[in-house]
Amino acid sequence: MAGITLENVTKAYGKLEVVHGIDLEIAHNEFVVLVGPSGCGKSTTLRMIAGLEDITGGEVRIGDRVVNDLPPRKRNISMVFQNYALYPHMNVRDNLGFGLKIAGHPAAVLEERVAEAADILGLSDLLDRIPAELSGGQRQRVAMGRAIVRHPDAFLFDEPLSNLDAKLRVQMRAEIKKLHTKVATTVVYVTHDQVEAMTLADRIVVMKDGYIEQIGTPMDVFNHPVNTFVASFIGSPPMNLIPAKIVGGAVQLSDGTTLPVPSRLKELVREGQDVVFGIRADDITPIGHGIHEARETTEIELEVDLAELLGSETLIYSRIAGQEVQCKMFDPRDLAPGERLTFRLSLDKAHIFDAASLQSVRAH
Amino acid sequence: MSRALKNKLRAAGLWFATFLLMVVISVPGLWVVLSGFRPNREILAKPPVWIPEKLTLNNFAKIFGFGQDQVAIPVLEYFRNSLVIAGTSTVIALIIGMAGGYAFARFRFRFKNTWFLGLMLFRTVPGIALSLPVFMLWSRLGIIDTKLGLIIVYVSLNVPFTIWLIDGFFRQIPGSLSEAAQVDGCTRWQAFWRIEFPLARSGIAAAGVFAFLTSWNEFALASQLTRSTDSKTLPVGLMDFTSQFTIDWAGMSAMAVVIIVPALILTFIVQKHLIAGLTFGGVKG
């Protein structure tokens, strides 16, 4: 049983602080994904948990133990590196068994555990190969195998899929998810890819510039972003964000267009407040081409600038009040640039952020 | 002229040029080895005898003190001195080179680039330019004409090079390998010996060969700093064959062969470690 607790953890290189007081509680067997753009401190945070970086301030606990001053080998964690970090001079069997050998386990245990891991990951036929003779996906699996043979308290993944091509990435993503159900263990997973975060996580931790912006389930983070950063980072395409002002109880855009304030947010906005109106592409759809039953809608006529056919849907680029927005057409038909269509906005899915703080008005 | 013929002619021309170049490079060496097996009379013959009429081991017997005519040159002692001096200085230079190369490749510290530049600048000073100051220093310290004195000189000559070469090899090994090993349960020291050292072995072997050959072949400084049978190395010993009026070319050539052979053997032994590319495949390139 081991969860991981971070309490006011900071990291500084000299005077430059890169992680500013992070608090995070990870439950036993939970799959937590740290996600954010490069330089947001997510890898540094992971490496502090692993013991590969010194902790400047605060406390990291694995289970009940404070591990701040323990070297990596005493933390009972496993890590999968971005470049796999397989030992090039050892075959797959020795790569898998290396940790157990160092720990001084008898040969019989070593063999049994290596066989078990190889079986789980489908590596049994590759045990005598060296890493240079493996494909990218196989190397990835060996790296994961090396992590599971030691039965650690937690797995740490540092962008494990970013070196794979798109197709393999989707495949390995599913394998990681399956692995977690087979080998129930606490997982901390770092990625810059919000799709990976959404698909894998029990809980997502969105980070930016060394701060945690939001912690929540994928649904939570997707449906209720606390600020414009999370709104535009999570979800693809990013949420449309349009500057506006609250005038006469309505959202007034820069060109004078007004949209009703969603009823659930009515109490939360002030007259005259500068705001950012946020709405996802899925929630701006031509009439008759939407997906969900919106309870609260408004209509707007827009001109099609560009239509990208994606198969089951078409991504439409248009402008609202001079600002480029992306809309979606489900069950699509052919569109010509310049064509004008009436779109339905699902207001119950819309968001309003304060323009000064960029925080969601719901957050106050 | 057809294209095929043209290509053939060009290839033939290139091969001929290669052959000429190789002749220029190898003939002096071959001539020395050949002379080691010929009587002095034949070496000095005018016009020169190109194809030896008979080969003999007499020269070797002579310098090692067997047979009828002997030369009073303690080749075995010289050989032992050379081995001790070159061997010891190589081992020390390698240890320092590994520590230094690893530090330069892995750690960040103040004035790192300045240190590195300093080491490289040290390489640009011709060794012979140091001979007089070193001679004076060593004589004050009382280590002139000792193996120790020469070992110190060779270590300091070789260390910048070994650090530079080994640093390059450690740089090619991703830091994440050592980190993975540490997460897998190794101490930093274990991670080094079990993972990083085996991967850098080819570089370390190369540095070792170069350091050994530098010390083994060095003449200028050794001839200044050694005097007696206790410390003279083989290349210095070669000078014993020149007397006031004559030079014993046959003996000298035989001894040159004695100098060349261990160097060749060493290179052949280490050669298999010189195959680079071991690091490929462990990490995504």
My answer on whether A190 and A262 are in the same domain is no
CB contact at 8 A, A58 and A5: no
**Beta strand pairing call for A57-62 and A4-13:** antiparallel
Q: Which residue shows structure tokens 């401190």?
A: A41
Instruction: Quote the crossing angle between the two packed helices B147-172 and B75-106, to the nearest 10°.
Output: 40
φ, ψ dihedrals at B167, nearest 5°: -55, -45
CATH topology for B75-274 is MetI-like fold (1.10.3720)
Measured in angstroms, the CA of B99 and the nearest CA of chain A are apart by 21
Please report the pLDDT score of residue B247 as a whole number.
83
Residue A359's nearest CA partner among A223, A225, A269, A212 is: A225
Residue type, B135: F
**pLDDT above 90 (res A71):** yes
My answer on whether A64 and A185 are in the same domain is yes
Rg, C-alpha atoms of chain A: 24
Q: Residue B71 — very low, low, confident or very high, per pLDDT cuts 50/70/90?
A: low
Residue type, A266: K
Q: Residue B68 — very low, low, confident or very high, per pLDDT cuts 50/70/90?
A: low
Please report the pLDDT score of residue B282 as a whole number.
47
Burial B17-46 (b: 16+ CB within 10 A, else e): eeeeeeeeeeeeeeebebbbbbbbebbeee
Q: Do B183 and A78 touch (CB under 8 A)?
A: yes
Give the DSSP H or E segment for A95.
helix A92-102
Report the residue of chain A nearest B190, measured CA to CA. A102
- The two tokens of residue B13 are 């021309």
CB contact at 8 A, A6 and A45: yes
Q: Which 3-state string (H, E, C) describes A103-169?
A: CCCCHHHHHHHHHHHHHHHCCHHHCCCCHHHCCHHHHHHHHHHHHHCCCCCEEEEECCCCCCCHHHH
Length of chain A: 364
My answer on whether A225 and A251 are in the same domain is no
Which residues lie closer than 8 Å to A227 by C-beta, 6 or more apart? A213, A214, A353, A357, A358, A359, A360, A363
Q: Do B283 and A84 touch (CB under 8 A)?
A: yes
Q: What does the alpha-carbon distance between residue B237 and residue B75 come to, in Å, rounded to a whole number?
A: 7
Q: Where are the domains of chain B?
A: 3-59, 75-274
The single-letter DSSP state of residue B192 is I
Q: Which domain holds residue A302?
A: 240-363
Burial B240-268 (b: 16+ CB within 10 A, else e): bbeeeeeebbbbbbbbbbbbbebeeebee
Peptide bond into A72 cis (omega under 30): no
Mean pLDDT along residues A192-221? 94
**pLDDT above 90 (res A2):** no
Q: Is any Cβ of chain A less than 8 angstroms from the Cβ of B176?
A: yes
A258 burial (CB, 10 Å; 0-12 / 13-18 / 19+) is middle
Q: What does the alpha-carbon distance between residue B193 and residue B259 come to, in Å, rounded to a whole number?
A: 34
Q: Is any Cβ of chain A less than 8 angstroms from the Cβ of B7?
A: no
Render B133-172 in DSSP notation, one character per residue: HHHHHHHHHT-TTSHHHHHHHHHHHHHHHHHHHHHHHHHH
Give the DSSP H or E segment for B38.
none
Measured in angstroms, the CA of B210 and the nearest CA of chain A are apart by 25
Mean pLDDT along residues B73-101? 93
Partners of A274 in the β-ladder: A245
Name the residue facing A73 among B185, B194, B199 (closest C-beta). Answer: B185
Q: Is any Cβ of chain B less than 8 angstroms from the Cβ of A78?
A: yes
My answer on whether A149 and A253 are in the same domain is no
**pLDDT above 90 (res B39):** no
In tens, the pLDDT along B192-205 reads: 999 999 988 888 98
Which of A206, A233, A260 terminates a domain? The answer is A233
CB contact at 8 A, A345 and A283: yes
Task: Identify the residue with better confidence: A223 or B246.
Answer: A223
Contacts of A78 in chain B (CB under 8 A): 183-184
φ, ψ dihedrals at B156, nearest 5°: -70, -30
Q: What is the mean pLDDT of chain A?
A: 92
Contacts of B199 in chain A (CB under 8 A): 88-89
Length of chain B: 285
Residue type, A350: A
Mean pLDDT along residues A193-211? 94
Task: Identify the residue with better confidence: B164 or B45.
Answer: B164
Name the residue facing A79 among B177, B180, B278 (closest C-beta). Answer: B180
Measured in angstroms, the CA of A106 and the nearest CA of chain B are apart by 16
CB contact at 8 A, A196 and A236: no
- Interface with chain A: mutation pick from B177, B178, B183, highest number of A CBs within 10 Å: B183
Contacts of A146 in chain B (CB under 8 A): 180, 184
The greatest distance separating any two alpha carbons of chain B, rounded to the nearest whole angstrom, comes to 75
**pLDDT above 60 (res B279):** no
Q: How many domains does chain A have?
A: 2
Q: In this structure, what is the dihedral angle of CA atoms A52, A53, A57, A58, given to the nearest 10 degrees?
A: -30
Contacts of A85 in chain B (CB under 8 A): 174, 176-177, 179-180, 282-283
Report the residue of chain A nearest B282, measured CA to CA. A88
Burial A312-346 (b: 16+ CB within 10 A, else e): ebbbbbbebbebebbbbbeebeebeeeeebebbbb
My answer on whether A249 and A190 are in the same domain is no
Mean pLDDT along residues B41-50? 81
Q: What is the mean pLDDT of chain B?
A: 87
Which of A198, A233, A268 terminates a domain? The answer is A233
CB contact at 8 A, A321 and A257: yes
Contacts of A155 in chain B (CB under 8 A): none
**CATH number for A124:** 3.40.50.300
Render A27-71 in DSSP notation, one character per residue: -TT-EEEEE-STTSSHHHHHHHHHTSS---EEEEEETTEE-TT--
- The two tokens of residue A115 are 């066989």
pTM of the full structure: 0.81
- The two tokens of residue B278 are 């071991």
Find the range with the poorest average confidence among B35-49, B56-70, B113-127.
Answer: B56-70
My answer on whether A251 and A223 are in the same domain is no
Residue A148's nearest CA partner among A106, A116, A111, A181 is: A116
Q: Is any Cβ of chain A less than 8 angstroms from the Cβ of B119?
A: no
Peptide bond into A238 cis (omega under 30): no
Please report the pLDDT score of residue B2 as a whole number.
83
Name the residue facing B280 among A51, A73, A88 (closest C-beta). Answer: A88
Q: Is any Cβ of chain B less than 8 angstroms from the Cβ of A85?
A: yes
Residue type, B195: I
In tens, the pLDDT along A95-149 reads: 999 999 999 999 999 999 999 999 988 899 999 999 989 988 899 999 999 998 9
- The two tokens of residue B180 are 């993975």
Percent of chain B with pLDDT over 70: 93
Measured in angstroms, the CA of A186 and the nearest CA of chain B are apart by 16
Q: Do B176 and A81 touch (CB under 8 A)?
A: yes
Report the residue of chain B nearest A103, measured CA to CA. B185
My answer on whether A198 and A107 are in the same domain is yes
Please report the pLDDT score of residue B274 as a whole number.
64
Q: Do B184 and A73 touch (CB under 8 A)?
A: yes
- The two tokens of residue A71 are 């070297």
Name the residue facing B279 among A52, A72, A88 (closest C-beta). Answer: A88
- Interface with chain B: mutation pick from A82, A86, A148, highest number of B CBs within 10 Å: A86
Please report the pLDDT score of residue B130 as a whole number.
85
Q: Do B185 and A131 touch (CB under 8 A)?
A: no
Q: What does the alpha-carbon distance between residue B153 and residue B240 come to, in Å, rounded to a whole number?
A: 23
My answer on whether A272 and A124 are in the same domain is no
Please report the pLDDT score of residue A81 as a whole number.
93
My answer on whether A28 and A157 are in the same domain is yes
**CATH number for A262:** 2.40.50.140
Mean pLDDT along residues A222-227? 94
Q: Residue B70 — very low, low, confident or very high, per pLDDT cuts 50/70/90?
A: low
Q: Do B282 and A88 touch (CB under 8 A)?
A: yes
Q: Is any Cβ of chain A less than 8 angstroms from the Cβ of B180?
A: yes
Q: How far is CA B100 from the centre of its chain?
A: 21
Q: Is any Cβ of chain B less than 8 angstroms from the Cβ of A82?
A: yes
My answer on whether A244 and A229 are in the same domain is no
The greatest distance separating any two alpha carbons of chain A, rounded to the nearest whole angstrom, comes to 77
Q: How far is CA A90 from the centre of its chain?
A: 34
**Beta strand pairing call for A297-303 and A306-309:** unpaired
In tens, the pLDDT along A263-305 reads: 889 889 999 999 999 999 999 999 888 876 778 889 999 999 9
My answer on whether A109 and A129 are in the same domain is yes
The single-letter DSSP state of residue B194 is I
Q: Residue A363 — very low, low, confident or very high, per pLDDT cuts 50/70/90?
A: low
Rg, C-alpha atoms of chain B: 24
Mean pLDDT along residues A63-77? 93
